Structure 1
Amino acid sequence: MKKVEIFDPAMCCSTGVCGPSVDPELTRVASAVYSLSQKGYEIERYNLANDPGAFADNQMINQLLHEKGPDVLPITLFEGEVVKEGTYPSTEEFSAWFNLSKEELKQKPKKRLSISLNQL
């Protein structure tokens, strides 16, 4: 299965809704990551403030941080290879990596609820 990993800079949250103003780019990425993970795709996000071990354990990420400094973040890996530095993946890139249309990516996951009226 295809795998995407996003290594975020240090921040208080990955959604973009904390702080004095909303960051629409972080909100877009958080929504895409949530949608993909709910659909069963392998996608992970690591925040430097909360997951420093993920940064230290990955030799490529560690090397890029030492060579280029923290401005290289965010870094995106696709199948273990660096595909983006300094910016987040676009909706088109997420779609291409997981063979989805942009519309499928934006669709909310559907969950089936089973309700029995006899139990009410």
Structure 2
Amino acid sequence: MSTIQIFDPALCCPTGVCGTDVDPMFAKAAADLDWAKEEGIAIERFNLAMDPQAFAANAVVKAFLERSGEDALPLILVDGEMMLAGRYPNRAELSRWAGVSSPKLNPVPAGNCCSGGHCG
């Protein structure tokens, strides 16, 4: 299975979900990453404010920051290869990158099943 590394911008806490005024983007990302971990997906997260050495020690991340700056974070690497920048991945992306298929990923939309639990 692949390892997904997330290089976060400088956050006040490891997830960005803290304080009284939480950005909904961070809340959704935290929920999606928790889901991915429950699915067995290997995820490592690095916060620029708390783990600056992780940013400096990774050549891909260091070059990205020199080229694009901190405002372009988050940066997502899969097995060391840059996959996404500027936003957090959704569950479908996390699942695809890790090679995980989850029935929880694509629930049946409400109203698409007949009563009695027998879909036709």
**Fold shared per TM-score above 0.5:** yes
Output the CA distance in 1 between the equivalents of 2:15 and 2:23. Answer: 8
Whether 1:76 aligns to 2:109 is: no
Q: Which runs of 5+ in 1 are unaligned?
A: 106-120
- How many pairs were matched up? 106
Identity of aligned residues (%): 43
Residues 65 and 12 of structure 1: is their aligned pair in 2 closer, same or farther, counting only changes over 3 Å? same
Please report the TM-score for the alignment, with normalisation by the length of structure 2: 0.75
1:94 alignment partner in structure 2: 94
Q: Is the 8 A contact 1:8 1:45 kept in 2?
A: yes
Output the CA distance in 2 between the equivalents of 1:100 and 1:59. Answer: 31
Q: Which runs of 5+ in 2 are unaligned?
A: 107-120
- Report the alpha carbon displacement of residue 38 of structure 1 after superposing the two structures with TM: 4.1
Q: Is the 8 A contact 1:10 1:49 kept in 2?
A: yes
Residues 45 and 58 of structure 1: is their aligned pair in 2 closer, same or farther, counting only changes over 3 Å? same
RMSD (CA atoms): 2.2
1:117 alignment partner in structure 2: none
Q: What is the correspondence of 1:1-120 to structure 2 with a 5 Å cutoff?
A: 1-98=1-98, 99-101=100-102, 103=104
Q: Is the 8 A contact 1:14 1:30 kept in 2?
A: no
- Between 1:60-69 and 1:22-31, the stretch displaced more is 22-31
